Structure 1
Amino acid sequence: MNDIFHISKLLIKKRLKILTLSEELQLKKFNKQYPFSKNIKIEDLVDNIDDYAAINKEKAWESIQKKSQKIKDKTVFKISNKKWYQYAAAALIIGILATAYLLKETLINKPIENTPIIVKQDVKVILPGSDKATLTLEDGSVVILEKGNDYQSQNVNSNGQQIVYKAGDKKTSEIAFNYLTIPRGGQFFIKLSDGTQVWLNSESQLKYPITFIEGKARVVELVYGEAYFDVSPSTEHQGAEFKVFNRSQEVEVLGTEFNIKAYKDETNIYTTLVEGEVAISSGSQYNKLIPGQQSNLNLGNQSITIAKVDVNAETSWRNGIFSFRGKSLKEIMKVISRWYDVDVAFENEKLEDITFKGVLGKNQDIKEILETIKSLSVIKTYEINGKQIILK
């Protein structure tokens, strides 16, 4: 029998929007081989589960396969009300319900884990990114933060995988700044002294005060890169507003969650509002966002456009997933190059503009990702030379 339990897992992962590219391909192949499965409505089938429980799934599936084989050469496959379709639905729903409890634990509460495959070329290994950063203190000294390297000072504590600042002397009139720099192949979490939480993506740098002055605006700077902010409300800080500066843009917030993407090698700055309210200022332009909207500042002509976006897709990187919807291969490989710390070259420049959608786990092996892209007929082949990937 086809591994119906595996297909059931993929169906649930699809509903949760956490399918990887390789899993999406598996499900597409299954739907192509058994077209009826695309029309199964889980909600309708749950009402009849008592009837389905008595069905012999093995025999039902064998019947499905035999009937499907007879008509697989037809160009158009139409769904009918024959009994074999009911067997198919029963087989799927039983598989889904049997694995639902486990999936709740393994898909939602636990991160995706895959064992990396070591590529031994030029004695260099391509591995997924990890928690690491460099902390530049106010006196210019540098501290390496990574797993196994703890760091503590009067108001700062880091276990090497995140860094937390404690509230200092609120009556101070002088501000001292620290820099947190995330390299390619890294990510890091920081909790500022006011309680604001910031998740930093690969190749990013944040400038921030060691402690904020009581009653004064709380200001940080995303020097470059990508960051997700969960801002401590102004009501907890005597009404002090929170601002984020970055190239040609100022973001003013009042207790909210949002994402800013402002990489050095990109000509656009994207600000995505998850909840709350933010105001985007650039030159004489001033725009407010509502949840679900994204502003796009074009650094070339300094114009700002606002559009509704899939917030989950735009911010999924924070939860261990890269979600691509209608992105070009060039854009996708740029994200991958930062996370895996590799250089990507296109032998055929026409490949750069091919668009598709999918989800990647941030712990996936790079070869699995490339094989999936290849299997989708997006590229003919690829080559790995040390830390360089060539798409052909």
Structure 2
Amino acid sequence: MSPKEARIITVKFLNNEASVAELNQLSHWIEENPSNDVAFKEYLNIYHTLDKRQVFDAMQAYRKTEAIINAKQNRSKVFRLNIYKYAAAAVLVGVLLTAYLFKQDSIFGSDDMVTPVIVNNAIKPGANKAILTLEDGKEIVFEKGASLQTNNATSNGEKIIYEAHKGQALAYNTLTIPRGGQFFVKLSDGTQVWLNSESQLKYPVNFTEGESRKVELVYGEAYFDVSPSTEHKGASFEVINDNQLVHVLGTEFNVKAYNDEDEVYTTLVEGKVEISSSKEQHILKPGEQSRLNKNVNTLSVEAVDVYRQISWKEGIFSFKRMTLEDIMTILSRWYDMDVVFENEELKQRGFNGSLGKEQPIEQILENIKSFGVIKNYEIRNKQVILK
């Protein structure tokens, strides 16, 4: 593909008009040569400097094409992983955020902008890291450069892979993801699990053949791509949490169950799951999300934008009509930082948009500030103060 053709498809991508074939073509072109990567980002910069108030949600291109991809049973991993990597990087470079207010009629003007105070900034984006607790209580710390090799599992410090062994005694491992971390684990039945920051998963090292496969999401958020029951003599898969049970036959879904949140969210991507609480049950369809209120133990179900719920797994935070307080709760887990609101009213301000998870925290705060959502901010060690 020539540079001119790449520019044409890029413009179509930015205006939500590119086809699936064109997006895949663009992804391949970007990967062919580092200079193409640079050129693509330059196109994005040019596009968004034409008008700083130009608003573009990179996820719209995904939503428009996802239905076509699913209909053709051709969920292109290259498209999903590549295009969004660059879309996420462009989010902050091109200021792809829409500022808005929930309880105010106007936002701070640019005349109010002042220089932020940054003292000993120790806030860094998260990384692949975890703590593995074995059946005997021994702990193994995983991070880049670490390794593990046992009869059941191998790890390069950034993920852990289990292998099935028949006739082995039932034993459990617990994987804890700290603030500022994420991790991937492939269970012995082939089920793949992506764990978000501040999460904990307990699971058997080896599942008992023919019996229901049970794991416990003790707290936090996890995306499950479950090995189908047809490959395990009909054995179903269950995800247990203090507040609910997810019964699975073979599917992809996301469970968000943080201790400091009042609701447990289960989002179905593919397949079929049954959600059970102590009071009621619901069967989810793809594209639906259940919300379990932990205080009154009630379940509700609604259709959602699935990608916004699972984009964290692809390296993107995607927000839609979220308060600044809720957004900062999510960011604080990933960046392992504390957030202080100097003015309580700021908590109800917010924006729509998407943020790349590899972005420095200063860049994120500058873009929030540029839309007048906040007047200014301070960074002191691992604390952010919003003003």
TM-score in terms of structure 1 length: 0.73
Q: Does 1:12 align with 2:7?
A: no
* Structure 2 Cα separation of the partners of residues 121 and 10 of structure 1: 40
Q: Does 1:338 align with 2:333?
A: yes
2:83 maps to 107
1:381 maps to 376
Larger Rg: 1
Contact persistence 1:329–1:353 (CA under 8 A): yes
Structure 1 residue 121: deviation in Å? Answer: 3.1
Q: Does 1:132 align with 2:129?
A: yes
1:253 maps to 248
1:274 maps to 269
Secondary structure at 2:129 match in 1: strand
Supply the AA of the counterpart residue of 1:287: H
2:143 maps to 146
* Structure 1 Cα separation of the partners of residues 150 and 334 of structure 2: 30
Shift in alpha-carbon separation, 1:325–1:267, aligned structure 2, 3 A: same
Supply the AA of the counterpart residue of 1:265: D
Supply the AA of the counterpart residue of 2:13: I
* Structure 1 Cα separation of the partners of residues 358 and 364 of structure 2: 10
Supply the AA of the counterpart residue of 1:160: G
- Listed as ranges, the gaps of 5+ residues in structure 2 are 1-5, 24-40, 62-78, 91-116
Supply the AA of the counterpart residue of 1:316: S
Alignment of 1:145-184 (within 5 A): 145-169=142-166, 171-172=167-168, 174-184=169-179
Contact persistence 2:81–2:314 (CA under 8 A): no
RMSD: 3.2
Contact persistence 1:13–1:107 (CA under 8 A): no
* Structure 2 Cα separation of the partners of residues 389 and 145 of structure 1: 27
Secondary structure at 2:230 match in 1: helix
Measured against aligned partners, the alpha-carbon deviations of 1:210-260 in whole angstroms (never above 9, x if no partner) come to: 000000000000000000000000000000000000121000001000000
Shift in alpha-carbon separation, 1:199–1:14, aligned structure 2, 3 A: farther
* Structure 2 Cα separation of the partners of residues 150 and 344 of structure 1: 34
Shift in alpha-carbon separation, 1:14–1:194, aligned structure 2, 3 A: farther
Greater relative contact order (CA < 8 Å, ≥ 6 in sequence): 2
Secondary structure at 1:199 match in 2: strand
Contact persistence 1:10–1:27 (CA under 8 A): no
Secondary structure at 1:30 match in 2: coil
Shift in alpha-carbon separation, 1:28–1:329, aligned structure 2, 3 A: farther
Measured against aligned partners, the alpha-carbon deviations of 1:154-174 in whole angstroms (never above 9, x if no partner) come to: 1100011100000012x34x4
Contact persistence 1:7–1:27 (CA under 8 A): no
Supply the AA of the counterpart residue of 2:132: L
- Listed as ranges, the gaps of 5+ residues in structure 1 are 43-102
TM-score in terms of structure 2 length: 0.74
Contact persistence 1:328–1:354 (CA under 8 A): yes
